[in-house]
Amino acid sequence: MEETKLRILELYSGIGGMHYAAELANVGAEVVFSVDINTSANEVYRHNFKQTNQQSRNIESLSANEINKLKPNVIMMSPPCQPFTRVGLKLDVEDSRCSSFLHLLDVLPHLETVSLVLMENVVGFETSEMRNAFTKALKSCGFYFREFLLSPVSLQIPNSRNRYYLIAKKFTNFAFGTETDIMTAFPSNSCDITISVGQKTLEPYLEKNFADEELARYLLPAKTLMKYWRILDVRQRSDISSCCFTKAYTHYAEGTGSVLQHDSNESFQEKFADFEKDGNVAHLEPLQLRYFTPREIANLMGFPAPFSFPENTSLRTRYRLLGNSLNVLVVSSLLKILLK
């Protein structure tokens, strides 16, 4: 007799981070329907998941009846973060980008087969009115939930990406934590679950054998070095951490992600000391300071080797889409805990 697979409804699907997390968790699940309004993200998603029913549409057009026909057991979602992000206006539920999420809360009581929910968002969501409305709706539908603030660093991945997560299940409470506490680590009694961990230094995540013309594509321009050298977060291959990569990486220099010293044989301290003496940016050239490539960022975010972008996706769009995505290993670990 064929085993019944968990059926996942993937909302705000982006480039497929939730889908990859479900695959990595290896819990016998399939994505039966995926939806996002971002056409660039959808192109990447369809490029990697050609067999999935993926649609470009507003989630507000999804009715309870349509969802019930799909018979999903799990909803995995990463709603728009702009209403809650530290650099946004923090309009919360008043932001028009919350309207699809509010629609989902209206639909939730009428969903007949959904018993599990996994949601990701930015830090800041946990103090929002939207969060209060979300947890109230979950409770009224018989769900128990747990909230987390987690970074990939907790899985020994050398990249900081602190995010809010919520997992919820219907009718059965969790064996750890409470609904009044936000957890900042994976529950200790999840140790009997095999959780994927990363490799501690940046080196294994980096691309090998750069051709000269390929390297030139990612080197920081001299004018960027001259103007922003004091605020650049420069990392070495042997480093055990890196800053969060945002959608503005390469477009803005400050707070959007780390850069790499490509030539590790040169002394970072000596070259910068020489530069500070006379301001000649040529002193920094031997360091070969460069941006992390989209593939390297994808590696740090847990996307598997087969993941790729369509050839016509611009470099700027690749960075933007990755900056809007999520860490696959963190979500995969939470999905295992949810299904335990």
Rounded distance, CA 45 to CA 22, Å? Answer: 14
Catalytic residue among 81, 98, 191, 243: 81
How far apart CA 138 and CA 106 sit, in angstroms, is: 11
Is the dihedral angle over the CA atoms 104, 105, 111, 114 positive or is it negative? Answer: positive
pTM: 0.94
- Distance between CA atoms of residues 29 and 32, nearest Å: 9
Whether 179 and 145 have beta carbons less than 8 Å apart is answered as: yes
For residues 244 and 34, what is the distance between their CA atoms, to the nearest angstrom?
A: 26
| pLDDT for residue 89 | 47
The reported pLDDT for the residue numbered 92 is 52
pLDDT tens track, the chain, 340 positions: 345 789 999 999 999 999 999 999 999 999 999 999 999 999 999 999 999 999 999 999 999 999 999 999 999 999 985 554 555 545 454 556 678 999 999 999 999 999 999 999 999 999 888 899 999 999 999 999 999 999 999 999 999 999 999 999 998 999 999 999 999 999 876 545 667 778 889 999 999 988 889 999 999 999 999 999 999 999 999 999 999 999 999 999 999 999 999 999 999 999 999 999 999 999 999 999 999 999 999 999 999 999 999 999 999 999 999 999 999 999 999 999 999 8
Q: At CA 82, angle to CA 56 and CA 108, rounded to 5?
A: 60
Q: Report d(CA 196, CA 302) in Å as an integer.
A: 10
Q: Where are the domains of the chain?
A: 6-194+326-339, 208-292
Q: What is the pLDDT of residue 191?
A: 46
Fold of the domain built from segment(s) 6-194+326-339 = Rossmann fold (3.40.50)
**CATH number of this structure's domain 208-292:** 3.90.120.10
141 labelled catalytic: no
Integer Cα distance of 24 and 335 in angstroms: 10
Predicted confidence at residue 99, as pLDDT, reads 86
